[in-house]
Amino acid sequence: MLAGDELRDAVRLVFASKQDLPETMKAAESMDKLGLHSLRHRNRYIRATCATSGDRLYEGLDWLSNHLQNQKAAPPPHLRPHVLSLPQPARVRFANETTTSTFFSYFDKH
C-alpha cells in the first residue's frame, strides 16, 4: 500500500512510540516490518518517540511541516477542484475569549 502510485509523492511520518518500555519494537525494526526500506527515494521519516513524555515528537512534526511546505507538486487530478465557487456562502466560526467566558461570533463569508 505504501508503494502505490497514489502515494508516490506523499510525505510519510511514522512515530515508533512507547520507546520508554523495554519490550517495545525499536525504530529500525519498525522500518523493516513496514517495508519502508523499499521506499528509498520517497519522502519518509521514522521517529522513535515516547508520547507520554513528549520525547522527540516535535522533531517529527517539524520534519513533516518542513517537507509539506517545500512540496511543490500539484495535487493529483482526482483531488483538483472542478468548480471554484461555492454553491452557498460558507459559514466561518471565530472564537473570542473574555476573562469570564468564551463566546462565539458567526460571520457569513461571501
Is pTM, for the whole model, over 0.85? no
pLDDT at 62 over 50: yes
What is the signed CA dihedral for 52, 53, 58, 64, rounded to 10 degrees? -30
- Segment 71-100 shows an average pLDDT of 51
| Average pLDDT value over all residues in the chain | 66
3-state secondary structure of 48: strand
pLDDT at 58 over 80: yes
CATH superfamily assigned to domain 5-79? P-loop containing nucleotide triphosphate hydrolases (3.40.50.300)
- The pLDDT score that the predictor gives to residue 85 is 46
Q: Tell me, what amino acid is at 25?
A: M
Mean pLDDT of 39-58: 76
- Cβ atoms of 26 and 46 within 8 Å: the answer is no
- Looking at residue 73, its pLDDT comes to 56
Averaged pLDDT, 47-65:
84
Percent of the chain whose predicted confidence (pLDDT) is above 70: 49
